[in-house]
Every structure is written in C-alpha cells, then in structure tokens.
Amino acid sequence: MNDRITMASDMNDYFNKKKSEESSFTKKSSGGGGGGNTPQMPKIDFNFGGGKAGFVYFLVAVIVLLILAKPFTIIEEGERGILSTNGKYQDQALLPGLHFILPVIQKVYVVDTKVRIINYASSIEAGTGSITSGIGVKPAITVLDKRGLPVSIELTVQYRLNAQYAAQTISNWGFSWEDKIINPVVRDVVRNVVGKYDAESLPQQRNVIADEIDKGVRDSVTSLQNSPADLQSVQLREIGLPLKVKEQIERVQVAKQEVQKAEQDVQRAKQEALKRAAEAEGVAQKARIEAQGIADAITIDADAKSKANYLISKSLTTQLLQLEQIQVQGKFNDALRENKDAKIFLTPGGSTPNIWVDMKDAKQRTSTTE
C-alpha cells in the first residue's frame, strides 16, 4: 500500500514538473514573437483534487486485476462444477449458479450432466467416433455366436453422468470416463449375451437378447463404486448376420411359408367340405321335416274323419233314420211333381229311393235301359 502511495506521489511530481515546463514555454513564446497572439494550451489538473489521486489509481488497479483474474464462475443448468484447490478436487460438485473462487489457487472444471447418446453403427463417418453435442458414434460390436460365427450388433445407449457423484467420478476415472466405463461395459455384456446363442436363432430371440443386454449393462454400471453413470436405456437396433446364415434363414422361412400355405389349403378344403356337408344335412333335414309334416297332417285328418264317422255312427238311431227317410221321400215326391218322366230306383231291402234318373236326359236314359 505504501508503495502504491509513493508511486502516486512520484506521478504527481512528474505532472507538476511538466506543467511548470509548459508554462515557461508559453511565456517565452508570447514574449519573443513581437506581439504575436499565440494560443495557449488548456490547463489540465492531473492531481485529481490533491490526495484523492492515489485512491482513484488504486481502485482502477483493483478493477483491472479483478477482470484479468476472474474470481468467479457461472454453472449452467445441466452442468456441474468440479472445484479444484491446488490440484485437489472438492468432494461436493458445484450446483448451477454463481460461485466465487480464489484466482490462481482454485479452478473450476465444468462437466455435462445432460443425457448423452452413443450409437454403435456398422457404417460411421470419419471423425464421428468421439462424442460431440452429447451424441457419439462408434463402430458396431462384432461378436462370435455359439458356433464361432461373426455377428454384428448395433445398439443405441442413453446415459448421463451421476450428478451426485460427479466429483468422485472425475477424480477416479478422469474426464474421459465414458470411454473407460460405458464403452467397455457395453461391449463386454454384448459379447457374453450373444455368445450363448446360435446365429440362426438370434432373430427369433431378439426381444430376449435385448432385455438381457439392457439388464447386464445396467447392473454392471450401477455396481461400480459411487454409481458413476445413470443408464437411461440400451436399445438393440440391428443384428447383422453372415451372408450364409441369412441365406439359410431365408430358405427356412420360405419352406415354413410353403408348409403354412399347404396347411391353410387343407384347412380351407376341410372347411369347404364341412360347409357342403352341413348344407346337404340341412336340405335332408328340411325334406324330413316337410315329409313328417305332410304325414302328420294326413294322420291328423284321418283321425279327425274317423272320429267324426264314429261320432256320426254313434249318433244314428232308428227314429233318426226314419226321419231321414221321410225327408228324402218328401224331396222325391216334390221332384216327381215337377218331372213326371223321372224314374226312381229303390235300393234293395229298403223303401227309401236313393237313385234318381232324369228320363229327359238322353245319357241317363240310355244307360238306364242298358
């Protein structure tokens, strides 16, 4: 502080000396020119009001020092700050917001805690192996199946840095923790899972394999110390099989489709036969029902007539028959009065005529004489 005040006093003396020299030069110029009107330079007060000059210079120096040293840092959302003091990381990561630090002694490393993605693909562009903007592309995982045939597996892994243990993760694994944790674990789990199956059975067991890979990667990552990463999902996108295996699978599929088609044709023929049999049975049943109905109607009619005749026969008495004879005889008598040429033939053993012959009718007359 004393050095700064001494430096400020020296500067004041320097400016006072310059001011005296400029005043002398002005006087000499105005007196030696023989009455010339030379303009005078404006007077500037470099003392800043006397003793205040030192404080002003000190304040400016402090502001410049603060700007150059930057004793603060701002952590954004989706990030955490790893505070390093003389090279030692603080256990608790800095949360989003404004944080003050000691320049030179302390330093803050910002790490991303947002969801990140790694795509394991068969064809990748040059330079996309590293993770940029939260998305990375790596070569597909080539593994051997149960019989030693090469199989290519394409995956998409979504994960994020565990914000609670971000400082410990960086301290233990470094800033390239993803290449040391996620990538090795995924490749190891995929090799162990796919190696249990034959290449031909992989497409049929796709869902089972996907579940096993997801569970294996999740368990392996969370079992590490301090759970460095939160695994969001592991999605099985493609299973690349050798050409010969593909051809064999296609042949098997074609054969299965042909068998299924033949079975469908047989089932269709059976259904048609059953349909025709059902229709014939329906027609026969209808005929039987109709015949039975007709027979039942005839039987019912015969029974009705039989019952009627029985009732009629039971109701006939001698008096009723005599009355009927009298009524018929009266009708014949009336007829003879109107047609005297008519002849009446009596039935044998009875007195009541039951045949009437009109002699005016040539047909009846001829048939009667014959």
The structure tokens listed for 292 are 């039975």
Structure tokens at 196: 């249990």
Which amino acid is residue 187, in one-letter code?
R
Both 144 and 202 in one domain: the answer is yes
Q: Give the SS3 label for residue 208.
A: helix
Note whether 139 and 233 are same-domain residues. Answer: yes
Structural domain count of the chain: 5
CA distances from 291 to 151, 179, 271, 279 (A): 75, 91, 30, 18
- Inter-helix orientation angle 2-32/52-69, to 10°: 120
User: CATH no. for residue 228?
Assistant: 3.30.479.30
Find where tokens 């562009």 sit.
Answer: 125
Q: 63 and 48 in one domain?
A: yes
- Which residues constitute the domain of residue 190? 116-241
**Are 227 and 152 contacting, i.e. CB atoms less than 8 angstroms apart?**
no
Q: Which of 200, 226, 241 is the last residue of a domain?
A: 241
**Phi, then psi, of 352 in degrees rounded to 5:** -100, 120
Q: 10-residue block means of pLDDT along the chain (370 residues)?
A: 43 53 48 46 49 76 74 88 89 89 87 92 59 81 89 93 91 89 93 91 91 93 89 91 79 80 86 86 84 84 79 72 75 72 57 54 48
pLDDT digits (tens, 9 = 90+) for 188-218: 999 999 999 988 888 889 999 999 999 999 9
pTM value surpassing 0.75: no
Distance CA 346, CA 252 (A): 103
Single residue among 199, 224, 241 that ends a domain in this structure:
241
41 plus 125 within the same structural domain: no
> Of 46, 81, 112, which residue sits at a domain end?
112
State whether 141 and 46 are in the same domain.
Answer: no
Taking a C-beta distance cutoff of 8 angstroms, is the pair 162, 191 a contact?
no
> What residues form DSSP beta bridges with 190?
none
pLDDT at residue 347, as a whole number: 56
Are residue 77 and residue 65 in the same domain, yes or no? no
- Residue-wise pLDDT tens digits, 313-331: 777 677 766 777 777 777 7
Tell me: do 259 and 164 sit in the same domain: no
Contact status, residue 194 vs residue 202, Cβ threshold 8 Å = yes
What's the pLDDT score for residue 11?
47
120 and 237 co-located in one domain? yes
- The answer to whether 358 and 346 are in contact (CB under 8 A) is no
Please name which of 134, 65, 62, 76 lies closest in space to residue 108, comparing C-alpha atoms.
76
Are 61 and 76 contained in the same domain? no
Residues 64 and 77 in one domain: no
CA nearest 12: which of 60, 56, 59, 54? 54
Do 169 and 241 touch, CB atoms closer than 8 A? no
Q: Does residue 234 share a domain with residue 248?
A: no
Pairing of strands 116-121, 135-139: parallel
Shared-domain flag, residues 303 and 355 = no
Q: Give the pLDDT confidence score for residue 80 in this predicted structure.
A: 92
